[in-house]
C-alpha cells in the first residue's frame, strides 16, 4: 500500500458555492462528473491510477456536512498551509485552527470550515 487514502468525498449542499470556494483557495479548476444520483466536482490529479483522488459531492443527502462529527481529512497545503489559509475567509470559510507546527519532521497543519460547514484539515512541510 503506497497510501492509506485512495479517494475522499467532501459533502456539499450547494455544489456551485462549494466549487467556487475550493477553486478559490487552491487555485485549481474542479472537474465536473455527474451521475444520475450524485453530482461531483473532482480535484485534479496527475495520474488517476496512482494518485489520491477526491471530490466535492452533492449526493442528495447521503453525505452530511459537519464541523464536529465524522472523519477529518487533511488536504495537501504544500508548500505552506498559510498560503491556503490566507484565502479561506475571503472565499467564505472560517479558520478553526491557524497554522500550527506539528514537528520538524512532520511539518505544519491548520483546519478550516468550508462554505458547506465541513471541517477540513491542511498539511504542509513548510
Residue 73 in contact with residue 10, Cβ under 8 Å?
A: yes
pLDDT tens for residues 41-62? 999 998 877 788 999 999 888 8
Domains of the chain in sequence order? 7-124 (3.10.180.10)
Whole-angstrom distance, CA of residue 54 vs CA of residue 44: 8
| pLDDT value of position 1 | 60
pLDDT tens for residues 67-107? 888 889 999 999 999 999 999 999 999 999 999 999 998 99
- Which pairing describes strands 107-113 and 74-76: parallel, antiparallel, or unpaired? unpaired
Instruction: Identify the band that residue 111 occupies on the pLDDT scale cut at 50, 70 and 90.
Output: very high
With cell 487552491, the residue in question is: 26
Amino acid at each position: 500500500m503506497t497510501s492509506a487514502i485512495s479517494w475522499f468525498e467532501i459533502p456539499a449542499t450547494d455544489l456551485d458555492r462549494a466549487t467556487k470556494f475550493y477553486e478559490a483557495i487552491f487555485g485549481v479548476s474542479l472537474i465536473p462528473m455527474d451521475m444520475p444520483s450524485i453530482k461531483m466536482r473532482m480535484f485534479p490529479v496527475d495520474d488517476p491510477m496512482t494518485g489520491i483522488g477526491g471530490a466535492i459531492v452533492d449526493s442528495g443527502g447521503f453525505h452530511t456536512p459537519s464541523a464536529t462529527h465524522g472523519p477529518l481529512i487533511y488536504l495537501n497545503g504544500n508548500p505552506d498551509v498559510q498560503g491556503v489559509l490566507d484565502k479561506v475567509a475571503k472565499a467564505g470559510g472560517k479558520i478553526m485552527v491557524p497554522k500550527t507546527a506539528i514537528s520538524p519532521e512532520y511539518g505544519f497543519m491548520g483546519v478550516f470550515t468550508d462554505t458547506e460547514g465541513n471541517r477540513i484539515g491542511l498539511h504542509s512541510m513548510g
